[in-house]
Amino acid sequence: MKECKQYNALPSRIIQVKRQRGNLRFVDNRSCNNVSLQFARVDVRGVGKFETTQFDEKRKSYCCGRRSYIKGVDMNLTFTPTAVVGGIPEKIGFIQIVHRMDPGEVKPVHRLRMDSNGNFLDRARPYTNPLYGTKNLVAGQTLDNSTPVSGAVSVGAAPITLTTLGDTTTLTPATMIDTPRSCRGMMFQTSAVGLVSKHYYGTVKWGFNRSHSYDILPGDTAAVVTSVNKWNSVGRAEGGFVLNSSYRKGFHSYPAGSVITDVTFGSTYIRGKIGGTALSHIPFTKVNDDSSGTSVTPF
């Protein structure tokens, strides 16, 4: 395969041309052309290949549709193994890490899991299984017992399966669906991993900011390992909530350490009660997770 890429350091505009057995593939992710003629592919030599089968920008208008910005993407990713690595036939899943452009969007339990580079394992607040899109394990189960979560990707939508596990015995692809949304942007690193060997088969990076979206490119497995090590050492499911500094609302001030109950979430804030008083719009940055949640399953 001959491949020609033209790009700046990520974030970047990307034009990617691939030739394989005389067939031309063209991907144009420049901001002036938001429709991919075909989707991206990243080969991992001797191991397998990553491919996107959907990568659609989602935009939000400022006013009357005259100006807009990218608020997210809808992405379907596959990893197809082409060989058994290390002589161990096994299932394959995904581990994904995320970096939010706006620190104010990071929820307290995710801040607890965050590594020194600002990345954290991309699992929703109650989950303790490190594999993307999978249910929590019960006592006696190992990672290769993982089963997919079924859920709605948007309000009112029908539930779908967020991931399927691959298999090196049958060379069955692993698949995942992600629909991230953010006011400022998010960047991801996604690794295909063996559930018995815990081998990293390869990693791709992708994401978006307000002006550009980025289909998959070769990623940095070492960055994923760093976040996984943080997950393994301190990761927990969501626990309780406490103020990490004093918080003033109207004429009342609430001291650091105050316990917040009856919590619901907004995009960058929580609503809850302190001492029976209902409070709204307490910023995530003012709130700590108290680390009382269930310990995570390590990878």
Write the pLDDT tens digit of every residue in 7-62.
333 333 333 333 333 333 334 444 444 444 458 999 999 999 999 999 999 998 76
Q: Above 80 in pLDDT, residue 201? A: yes
| pLDDT value, residue 65 | 56
Q: Above 90 in pLDDT, residue 115? A: yes
CA distance 31 to 70: 10
CA distance 217 to 101: 19
| pLDDT value, residue 83 | 87
Confidence band (pLDDT; 50, 70, 90) for 275? very high
Q: Above 60 in pLDDT, residue 105? A: yes
Cβ-Cβ contacts under 8 Å for 146 (sequence gap 6 or more): 91, 93, 129, 131, 134, 135, 137, 165, 195
CA distance 239 to 294: 8
Instruction: Give the number of other Cβ atoms within 10 Å of residue 112's Cβ.
Output: 20
Written in H, E and C, the secondary structure of 184-216 is CEEEEEEEEEECCCCCEEEEEEEEEECCCEEEE
- Tokens 């791709």 map to which residue? 204
**What six digits make up the tokens of 78?**
């596959």
Instruction: Give the number of other Cβ atoms within 10 Å of residue 95's Cβ.
Output: 25
SS3 225: helix
CA dihedral (111, 113, 116, 119) in degrees, to 10, reads -80
Cβ-Cβ contacts under 8 Å for 275 (sequence gap 6 or more): 254, 258
Q: Above 60 in pLDDT, residue 224? A: yes
Mean pLDDT is lowest, of 24-28, 194-198, 221-225, for 24-28
Confidence band (pLDDT; 50, 70, 90) for 63? low
Q: Above 80 in pLDDT, residue 142? A: yes
